[in-house]
Each structure stands twice: as C-alpha cells, then as structure tokens.
Structure 1
Amino acid sequence: MIQFKTLELSDKDIFQKYLKDYKFSTYEYSYLTLYLWKNLFKVEFGFFDGALIIKKTENHTGTYFMEPIGYTNDNLKSIINELINIKKEDSNIKTLFRDIEENFLIKLKELYGEELTIEEDEDNFDYIYETEKLATLSGKKLHSKKNKYNQFIKSYCYEIRDIRDEKVVEDCIAFETKWNIEKDQLDEQLVIEEQGVKEVLENLESLNAIGIAVYVDDEIAGFTIGEIVNDDMAIIHIEKGNIDYQGIYAFINRSFVNEYLGNIKYINREEDRGIAGLRKAKLAYQPIRLERKYIVNI
C-alpha cells in the first residue's frame, strides 16, 4: 500500500527530481501550482515502484490521482493496477484520474482500450499564447488590448517593481486581502487562494517564482506571479489588479512578459474554470491553442 503524506514546502527537491525530466503541457504539473493550491486540493503524494504518485481531494469531485511521474513502459501497468486497487478500497475515489494530458491518455488507451471511460474536462483546458504576441500586442485582433495598455501609460504616474523586494511582498499580501474583501461573494476557492498566494509570496525564492507589482502614485495597483518552466513555457499563476485604474490588467500582462518572459516561446495562462467572464477575457488575448485535459476512469 502506498503511504501518502501532505505536500509541504520542504518537498520541493523531491518533486523537482521527478519533474525535471517530465515535459508537461499543462500547468497542473508545476510544483508551484501544487503548492499554491495544496489546501484547496488537499494535495498528497507517495511512491510506488519508483514512480511519484500525486493524489488530490476536492469537495465536489472526491479523491483522484494525477498522472504518475517517473514510470517506465515496463512498470506503468502495475502502477495503475495498484491505483485501481486503492480506488476499490476508498469509496471517496469516484474517478481514478483527472488532470490527464494527451500523451498519457494515449498510453492509457494502449494498455486498457475499451475499459476506459474518457471525458474532456473543458472547463479546465489551459490557454496557451505566443509570447511575442503578448509582448507586442500587435495585429488587429489585439488592437483593443493595446489601446487599454496605452490608456494606462498615458493616464497614470506608474512604476514597476520586482515582486521579490520585501516591501513589495508586504504590499502584495495586503492588496490580495483587500481584493478579496471587496468581492461581493467570497467563495471557498478565493479564501484558500488568499492563503496560498500569501505562502507563495513569503517563499518566492524557494519556489523559483517571479513577478512584478505595479504602483500608481506610490500605491500598489496590482501584481502578478509566474514562473519559467523551461525554454518553451512560462506559467502565469496569479494576476490581480485594481480596476479603478483603466487598463491595469493589460498593463500588468504586457509589462510582465516584457520584463521577464521575452525569451520564452509560449505562455500558459491556465484555465477559465467554466466562468464565462474569465473565458471571454482569456479568448480576447487570442490563444494559439487550448491544452486539453481529461477525466479518466478504469
């Protein structure tokens, strides 16, 4: 039986050992992601036959597994069979796998064929963008975003500060708290997000996180946190702005890309969670593709 333990900051090196050779396509498999959302998803991990096994538990979906990391073609089936056995013993596991990427789905089909039930998890598809497009906002389709960016720089006396500065961290934590207080409806995810963002801000260096904060007249107006995964991909994890400043989000987005991500090929801006307004906003930046994720049962 696999012995699972709760994810902690000190587990980063273990995860990096496994993830460094795993070229994932979705943001779910970033250690920073797992740490940020560890409380919402009750993230646990263990090992079986040399592979890293990640388990999540959500209130509305129950418990499930992510893709095993560090398996071989020879031991993959025995690993999955062990997870199937765990599922049989745990009534809270209704679905064996979530957060499944295309490449792993192909392997599952080869091993289990018609035994699989597969569902596209559309609300959790990742939005992937060309960095150059976000950096320049060039072209007719991004004209409105460029206008908002220009509106901001013409309207305000602003300053961009690195998020790793101690005073900036304090300001970002206070901004995050205020941002949530001003929400009409504060759901569980936002409450847990606030806690996760605070922990990330307090451990930026350990998590290899980068970001900027934007100040207007020496008052914080917004901030963003991301990470560079490899030469091909960066992830934007958090982006918060005070919408009293017209164009703040367009400014944060473009400025962060130009400050830190110019040499990266693609940027992953995560999913829309089925929220219509968020979907509209993400589509407005013209993604080059949506990275699919699947829910799989055996």
Structure 2
Amino acid sequence: MEISSGKPLELSDKPIFDKYLNKFPPNISELTFSNLFIWKNYYDFLFLEWENHIIIYAINFFKNWGKSIAGNNDSIFFLPPIGLTPEKIILKLFKELENLEIHRVPEMVMKKLHTEKEFERLNLRVYEDRDNWDYVYEIKNMVNLPGNRYRQKRRWLNKFLELYNYDFHVISGDLIKKTLELQLEWCDVTECQGNEDLMEEQKAIET
C-alpha cells in the first residue's frame, strides 16, 4: 500500500463511504461518515481504497494531538479498515508498513484477529482503550431511569421539567443557524476558549 496515494476526506467522497458502510455497518461511532467528516481537520484524515476496503489514516496525528501507545510519535494512526475482512487487511498493513498503530478496533474484529496464524507470527500487541469506549445503554433504562444507578439523572430531568417549557424539533435546514447560535452560547458559558479539546469540538460542529 502506498501511503502517499491517500487523499483528504471531502463531502464529495460520501458516495464511496456509503457504498462500504451500507454493506458493512460500523460497530463504532468513529466510523460513520458524518463523524469522519467533521473531525477530518483535527485528525488530518487521509483515505484510500485498497484490497476492496477503505483505509483511513492520519500521518501526523501523534505528532500534533494524540498519544502513541508505543511511545513513537512517528507512528501512523489508522482506524479499522472498512470492508468484508478487516482482520486480514490489518495483518497486511502490519506486514507492508512500519511504525503504525490501529486504534478503535471493535471486539469482534479482535476475536477474528486472534484466530489468524499471522497474528502470532507478527507478535502484535493489543491494548484496551477504555477512554474511547462507546457508551451503550438499554433503551428501557434510558426511558425509565430505574434504580439508584440513574438517580442523579432522574433529578436532573425532573429539575429541567420544573424549570423549562420545551418542544422537540428535528434539526432541519431552517434550524441550523439557531443550532449554531446555541452552540456558541454554550461555548461562552463553559469558557471553552480555554479548553483545547472543546475548541476542537466547536470547529468540528462548524464543519
């Protein structure tokens, strides 16, 4: 695989991603097109099609933002390949390239990796990344907020219901301006200008 052949992610690339993501729905939120697009400037994402998979990577991510698990900021940051056999593509990447790390790999892909003979031969190391686990809740628990575990959330909800009149709206084109205004107001209240992570979120939302 030629790293130099990757291209920056653009809105016009959505049909390519739709082709793969509709056939191979992502198990992690990072691999939705909307998420990849709004964070493209933060990560400096590049992508290419290789071996019937989409490969997404960032050459300078560890130098600019992230922390390399291996302690090597020259490593290339990869997301899991999107396609039929991501576990096989992961192994090919490690055989063809040096200094790479693949992050956010779903558990089901890891299980398949462990069954591959090449996995042991390459002596790959696997780390849990709890800071980037997706939140998963049962619908009934979010609806009913039962028991002590959700007591604080019930209090917050009840306080909101006491203090505010509210309506639910689907965000459509005519509400985008108001939505961005609300985000800017929230950013001022939380003083996000002094928090680099929150400022990057602000830029992502504006994208």
Tell me the CA shift for residue 163 of structure 1: 1.8
Of residues 98, 103, 106, the one that matches 2:108 is: 103
Question: Which structure 1 residue ranges, 5 or more long, are not aligned?
Answer: 200-298
Structure with the bigger RCO (C-alpha within 8 Å, sep 6+) is 1
Q: CA deviation at 1:157?
A: 2.8
Task: Pick one of 180, 186, 189 that aligns with 1:173.
Answer: 180
Name the counterpart of 1:43: 45
Q: How many residues align?
A: 190
> How big is the shift at 1:52?
1.0
Give 2:32's aligned residue: 30
Rounded Cα–Cα distance in structure 1 between residues aligned with 2:6 and 2:50: 10
**Matching residue of 2:204:** 196
- CA deviation digits over 1:18-70, x for unaligned, max 9? 11222432212111211121111111110212211111342233521122222
Equivalent residue, structure 1, for 2:128: 120
8 Å CA contact 1:6, 1:42 repeated in 2: yes
TM-score with structure 1 length normalisation? 0.57
Q: How high is the TM-score relative to the length of structure 2?
A: 0.79
Aligned-residue offset at 1:147: 2.7
Q: State the partner residue of 2:159.
A: 151
State how 1:9-20 maps to structure 2 within 5 Å.
Answer: 9-20=11-22
Q: 2:81 aligns to what?
A: 68
Percent identity reads 28
For residues 157-179 of structure 1, give each alpha carbon's deviation from its aligned partner in whole angstroms, at most 9, with x where no partner exists. 3333332151x311221222232
Change (3 A) 1:96 1:184: closer
Alignment partner, residue 92 of structure 2? 81
Q: State how far apart, in whole Å, the 2-side matches of 1:70 and 1:148 are.
A: 42
Letter in 2 for 1:65: F
Letter aligned with residue 116 of structure 1 = L
Which residue type is aligned with residue 28 of structure 1? E
Aligned 8 A contact 1:7 1:43 in 2: yes
What is the match of residue 70 of structure 2?
A: none
- Between structures 1 and 2, the one with greater helix share: 2
Which residue of 144, 162, 169 maps to 2:170?
A: 162
| Structure 2 counterpart SS, 1:52 | strand
Query: Aligned partner of 2:77: which letter?
Result: Y
> RMSD of the TM alignment (CA)?
2.5
Cα distance between partner residues in 2 of 1:188 and 1:151: 31
SS in 2 for 1:55: strand
- Within-5 A mapping of 1:130-279: 130-166=138-174, 168-182=175-189, 183=191, 186-199=194-207
Rounded Cα–Cα distance in structure 1 between residues aligned with 2:6 and 2:94: 12
- Measure, in 1, the Cα distance between the counterparts of 2:155 and 2:134: 26
What CA distance in whole angstroms lies between the structure 1 residues aligned with 2:95 and 2:151?
50
